[in-house]
A = this chain, B = another copy of it.
Amino acid sequence: MNTETYCIAGRLRMLARVISGRYNEAFTGEGVTFAQAGLLMHIFAQPGVRQAELSKRLQIEKSAMSRDVQLLQKNGWLTDNIRSGLYLTEEGRLLAKRCHKIWKALNQQVWAELGPDATLGLTVFSDNVITKLIS
């Protein structure tokens, strides 16, 4: 039946590029990328979270996470004790809240644009990857 077995990795990377572009656009007004906004929102939701924890949850290599975090700090959104848990500055908290508003509206819109079949499809795929491929 699977006569056409396209490249799973290639397809995922393409989809990530396309969707990331869409999300990045939405955050240009705030001067952040989607990746940065995402981290800010995670830290907002869980103040004091460790890099290692985010690293596992988001499946980002620890050295990449280290640099992402340093970038947030350089921009004044994190307090200076990043080795013992991540905390937003006041400016960081305000930005995180604005990002969340943007994110919520956009994510719902994309969800709606793609429709239930598509989003259910991604959910099923995602759940399978998480249970079968991530230790």
Contact = CB atoms under 8 A, between A and B. Distances in A.
A101 interface: no
Interface in A91-122: 103, 107-108, 110-111, 113-122
Nearest to A19: B9
Interface stretch (A66-74, A79-87, A125-133): A125-133
A120 B122 contact: no
Please report whether the interface of chain A is mostly helix, strand, loop or mixed according to DSSP.
helix
Nearest to A120: B121
A31 to B, nearest CB: 18
B19 A111 contact: no
B16 A122 contact: no
B126 A124 contact: no
B124 A2 contact: no
A5 B132 contact: no
Contact of A5 (B60, B108, B133): B108
B107 A118 contact: no
A67 to B, nearest CB: 15
Contact of A12 (B7, B19, B103, B124): B19
A46 interface: no
